Amino acid sequence: MRELSYRDALNEALHEEMTRDPRVFVLGEDVGRYGGVLQVTRGLLDKFGEKRVRDTPISEAGIMGLAVGAAMTGMRPVAEIMYIDFSALAMDQIVNQAAKAHYMFGGKTRVPLVMRTQGGGGRGNAAQHSQSLEMWYVHVPGLIVVQPSTPYDAKGLLKSAIRDDNPVIFIEHKLLYNTAGPVPEGEYLIPIGVADVKRLGNHVTIVATSRMVLFALEAAETLAEQGIQAEVIDPRTLKPLDLATIVQSVEKTGRLVVVNEGALTGGFTAEVAARVQRAAFDWLDAPIMQVATEDVPLPYNGRLEFEAIPSVQDIVLAARGALYWNAG
């Protein structure tokens, strides 16, 4: 199978969906002529013209307000917010308008928009450009939150997100754009709300999201050398969460490590831990381990940033801890 970068897989999804459905259009800062600072919208302007590829002023509230209005009036906007950190400026449009309209108008309107954005640290972008804020959106009823970790998932999920009639927060990771992976030729979709088992194992379950999936897979290699077979699950969609796949794995392994790049407190790891303990209490043989970012603004200094964000070794230690293997 051919290999594509995460960036090109997303780009291909946009090309295909805009070709398929004339209602689909993209908007955002520098998405047109420049092709997006992350080059995900590259080539769209030449192919689909200025009407469907709109460069906007630097106003996140404006971008999202426009997207909500367009979606309610029958379009399928794909808005790019350059950094998820900046989405704070558009919060009213996302939380109070996009997420609520379908419900508050009694189903008489829909908001089929996609907010594409990217988050995560590890690139020395400092505290205002490195956050993992996915849980802000997971917390809002009415929103779907997607976080692909591979090129294959990125393409299939973006296409599904565009076709979904609900507002979808589609969160990419700034350090995944250059990663490559197999992406089949031709059309395929990945359903929203379905987790993917990225590696099979019997001894401990590791649930990880976004870039942490790659870390978890690397940790699983290290663990395998130590005789521990880890099962790695990528929920891919944070909301709605595919709890069944996770619980099924925990019933097998009896141990769970949850890894997320967001801050520990009030984060994704706590949410998964709470749900799994209720659903699989009798199967747990050890406390559920959480691996998340320290509760600090992410430092600019690379070494400090490395310490704050979960590392492969953190995941290895957590998995060993779940197996009561910590002494060695």
Catalytic machinery residues: 60, 129
Instruction: Return the structure tokens found at 171.
Output: 């969160």
Residue 310: asked if its preceding bond is cis (omega within 30°), the reply is no
Count of positions on this chain that bind another protein (CB under 8 A) = 9
Q: Which residues contact 49 (CB under 8 A, 6 or more apart)?
A: none
Rounded to the nearest 5 degrees, what angle is found at the Cα of 94, between the Cα atoms of 89 and 99? 165
User: Is residue 324 involved in binding another protein (CB under 8 A)?
Assistant: yes
Selected range binding another protein among 65-73, 117-125, 189-197, 281-289, rule: CB under 8 A: 281-289
Minimum Å gap between C-beta 311 and another protein is: 15
Among 25, 83, 268, 283, binds another protein (CB under 8 A): 283
Query: What's the sign of the alpha-carbon dihedral 91, 96, 97, 100?
Result: positive
Q: Which is nearer to another protein, 1 or 281 (CB)?
A: 281
User: Is residue 295 involved in binding another protein (CB under 8 A)?
Assistant: no
Minimum Å gap between C-beta 328 and another protein is: 9
Among 51, 178, 185, 327, binds another protein (CB under 8 A): 327
Residue 86 is classified by DSSP as G
| Closest by CA position to 234, among listed 251, 246, 222 | 246
User: Is residue 303 involved in binding another protein (CB under 8 A)?
Assistant: no
Q: Which is nearer to another protein, 34 or 324 (CB)?
A: 324
User: Is residue 286 involved in binding another protein (CB under 8 A)?
Assistant: yes
Site string for another protein, 91-130 (x = CB under 8 A): ----------------------------------------
| Residue matched to tokens 């709605």 | 240
Q: Which is nearer to another protein, 134 or 314 (CB)?
A: 314
User: Is residue 285 involved in binding another protein (CB under 8 A)?
Assistant: yes
Minimum Å gap between C-beta 317 and another protein is: 10
User: Is residue 282 involved in binding another protein (CB under 8 A)?
Assistant: yes
Ranges of beta strands (E only) in the chain are 3-5, 24-28, 53-55, 76-81, 114-119, 144-146, 168-173, 180-182, 196-199, 204-208, 230-234, 237-239, 256-263, 289-293
Minimum Å gap between C-beta 243 and another protein is: 18
Q: Do β-strands 230-234 and 180-182 pair in parallel, antiparallel, or remain unpaired?
A: unpaired
| Closest by CA position to 140, among listed 181, 108, 92, 107 | 92
Q: Which is nearer to another protein, 75 or 280 (CB)?
A: 280
Q: Which is nearer to another protein, 176 or 280 (CB)?
A: 280
Selected range binding another protein among 57-65, 95-103, 159-167, 278-286, rule: CB under 8 A: 278-286
Q: Which is nearer to another protein, 209 or 253 (CB)?
A: 253
Q: What CA–CA distance (Å, rounded) separates 111 from 289?
A: 37
| Closest by CA position to 232, among listed 204, 267, 252 | 204
276 with 247: CB under 8 angstroms? yes
Q: Which is nearer to another protein, 188 or 324 (CB)?
A: 324
Q: What CA–CA distance (Å, rounded) separates 124 from 130?
A: 8
Among 284, 294, 312, 325, binds another protein (CB under 8 A): 284
**60: part of which helix (H) or strand (E)?**
helix 60-72
Site string for another protein, 231-260 (x = CB under 8 A): -----------------------x------
Contact residues for another protein (CB under 8 A)?
Answer: 254, 281-286, 324, 327
